[in-house]
Chain A
Amino acid sequence: MADRCAVIGVGQTHLRAKREDVSIPGLVREAALRALADAELTFADIDAVVIGKAPDMFEGVMMPELSLAAALGAVSKPMMRVHTAGSVGGSTALVAAHLIASGIHRRVLTVAYEKQSDSDAMWALSVPQPFAAPLLAGAGGYFAPHIRAYMRRSGAPDHIGRMVAVKDRRNALKNPYAHLHLEDIDMKMVEESIMLWDPLRYLEACPSSDGAAAMVLAAEDAVSGAYPPAWVHGMAMRSEPTMFAGRDQVNPQAGRDCAADVYRQAGITDPRADLDMAEVYVPFSWYEPMWLENLGFCPEGEGWKLTESGATALDGDIPWNASGGVLSSNPIGASGMLRFLEAAMQVRGQAGEHQVEGARRALGHAYGGGSQFFAMWVVGSDKP
């Protein structure tokens, strides 16, 4: 039986297009210090640090974790790096939680970041390869055909994607850390934005952000801080190859398996009813209905109906991405951890204006690569 693990501190930087006032070490330290302050601890209280970011190629700094040890108080302490592409923020939190659950450490600091203004992710995701035609065009170019396939398969009407784009940006207006604060966002504004990767428009895609996220995780006997802890009720990771014959690229098996595992651990049989909210990695609007189905919030083919009904809005019965989500802020490596962190903030009652009233159990989700890496946790206000 694993030891109990609690989230006792959360910290994030303001998420912006360019943080020219800080270097990468300054960025991660800012988030880490906020997480430590929330837990009423200092670097001296931390046993180990687990850090994650998206591929090194983005900023062009190889193994950046080595030079970040000093900024994170990790000199002469165990420190490790996690790599799972865009899902890395989630996987990093899970590796940190494993160090607590296994009884190895009592307090672990976990950090994830991206400084997109130092990088060119669009270029890094579009590098020509000898065995493929030079058609790659960033993450949007990869995911747009799968979105088209979802639309064809489910018969979803065009406006569903626009609804998600508006909903998440309106939620972001209630989150002071969010990158995009689009006061005038509405369906018309999304519809009139430029078509980047038909069927995906500019405002149906995530922005490029600088930012970092951090959490302090603790064993049961090491809980501290003014806010009550968020207890980890379940955690799971799954992956699958990007390419194999018969792969369901709209509704990947690894995502379904990961959800089933985390729900089993948390005792969840009906996620829509049993969870109070979810923070799910939705970098392109249509991934809300697609992941609603993949994560079992509704039967296959009906995700778009749930979105259309308003169920996933902040005042719906199962709010998704109350923080504004990835559609409002995308510091790639940190985006997954922000989902996990926001879920924890909700069950600790510290989400401020975007708090889902009475949230006691929440899902944090991240996916990455060509929908081949998945990481999830369920956190709750009750001790499991």
Chain B
Amino acid sequence: MTMLDTPIHLEYTFTPGIAQSRFLRGLAEGRFVGQRCPVCGKVYIPSRGSCPVDGVPTGEDVALPDTGIVTTYCVVNVPFAGQAIEIPYIAAQVLLDGANISFMGLIQEIPATDVRMGMRVQAVWVEPDELGPTLASVKYFKPTGGPDAPYESFEEYL
């Protein structure tokens, strides 16, 4: 058998829907916008427009701060095609203050060996003229230096 590499290119238009549009437009203004479920009261970010547990629309927008904690993380040290960030890098689950679900964020300004579960972090945004409707508006999260959150306070988010 003979192997042949044939590079292909695909362009597509991404339609985020109402809830994600609010999240992405918030990022373009340098702020985090989540949504609250009217039944369980949990705050989702990014919201997909409905609560996966209760199956109802999450209509209410909730402004969230750009501070939170690292719930868990890994240090990526494996190269692969199309990689956007230089290795090694810290890929963390970041739980914003007031949110009930974490999302993946890059951690910088700290050696990988010093990162901790429960470490307090804050978003570092790109320059105002570089902001756009994408998570690339957040350059990374950095440690605030504040005291770590106790394990019991975020155990349910693991």
- Chain A: residues with CB nearer than 8 A to chain B? 20-23, 60, 117-118, 120, 122-123, 126-128, 130-138, 140-141, 144-146, 148-149, 152-153, 194-200, 241, 243-246, 248-250
Contact = CB atoms under 8 A, between A and B. Distances in A.
Most buried by B among A245, A249, A250: A245
Given A21-B1, A146-B72, A246-B42, A197 B93 contact: no
Contacts of A243: 52, 101
B23 to A, nearest CB: 7
B84 A197 contact: no
Nearest to B87: A137
B117 interface: yes
A197 B135 contact: no
B97 to A, nearest CB: 15
A127 B14 CA distance: 14
B16 A130 contact: yes
A127 B82 CA distance: 8
B16 A131 contact: yes
Contact of A145 (B40, B85, B92): B92
A197 B75 contact: yes
Given A20-B1, A152-B117, A246-B100, A132 B135 contact: yes
B155 A153 contact: yes
B6 to A, nearest CB: 9
B134 interface: yes
B44 interface: yes
B110 interface: no
Given A130-B14, A145-B91, A135 B106 contact: yes
Nearest to B138: A133
Interface string B65-88: 000000111111110111111001
B1 A23 contact: yes
Contacts of A120: 80-81
28 contacts: A21-B1, A23-B1, A60-B8, A122-B81, A126-B83, A130-B133, A132-B103, A133-B103, A133-B136, A135-B76, A135-B85, A135-B104, A137-B91, A138-B78, A145-B73, A146-B158, A149-B158, A194-B77, A195-B77, A196-B78, A197-B75, A197-B76, A198-B112, A244-B53, A244-B101, A246-B100, A248-B158, A249-B158
B156 A137 contact: no
Interface of A: prevailing SS: loop
A117 B3 CA distance: 10
A135 B105 contact: yes
A123 B78 CA distance: 12
Interface string B141-158: 000000000010001111
A123 B72 CA distance: 23
Most buried by B among A21, A117, A118, A246: A246
B76 A137 contact: yes
B8 to A, nearest CB: 8
A311 to B, nearest CB: 26
Interface string B27-68: 000000000010010111010000111000000000000000
Contact of B156 (A130, A195, A246): A246
B105 A148 contact: no
A128 B138 CA distance: 15
Nearest to A135: B91
Contacts of B104: 132-133, 135-136
B24 interface: yes
A148 B72 contact: yes
Contacts of B24: 130-131
